[in-house]
A = this chain, B = another copy of it.
Amino acid sequence: MSAGVTASGTATVDDDLWSAIGDPTRRRMLDLLLTDGEGTATTLSQRLPVTRQAVAKHLGVLDRVGLVRAVPAGKEKRYRVDDEQLARAAAQLASVGSTWDARLQRIKRIAETIHQNQQD
């Protein structure tokens, strides 16, 4: 059930990764993990408007796509961001963004060309 390529075959985006970072709560969790260095389901839930169990599920999702790694420490289970995977995710975000920008530019350019030709 992974993904690959969009309908137009340009973006080459991993849908699993996207849906993982598409959720606002998960994005905030990543933010917290980045700033704090690490965190458990309990500590994260204290700084978020959701319950510990919800956070635990999200951590499961993030762990499954590899954005986060669990480090069991006795009683608790500390989670830390996987740098490489997050970098990959960030790259994909930037990629899609710049793809859109590029197309918008191209469209604008074409529009201007048409405008010029009509003036001839």
Interface residues of A (CB under 8 A from B): 3, 6-8, 10-11, 13, 15, 18-19, 22-24, 27-28, 30-32, 34-35, 37, 47-48, 83, 86-87, 89-94, 96-98, 100-101, 103-104, 107-108
The answer to whether A11 and B34 touch across the interface, beta carbons within 8 angstroms, is no
How many copies make up the complex?
A: 2
A15 nearest in chain B by CB position: B24
Q: Of B7, B22, B94, which is within 8 A of A22 by CB?
A: B22
By a CB distance below 8 angstroms, the chain B residues around A30 are 100
The answer to whether B7 and A18 touch across the interface, beta carbons within 8 angstroms, is no
By a CB distance below 8 angstroms, the chain B residues around A86 are 100, 104
A100 nearest in chain B by CB position: B90
Sampled A-B contacts (15; CB under 8 Å): A6-B28, A7-B32, A19-B24, A22-B23, A37-B107, A83-B104, A86-B104, A87-B100, A87-B101, A89-B97, A89-B100, A90-B97, A90-B98, A90-B100, A94-B97
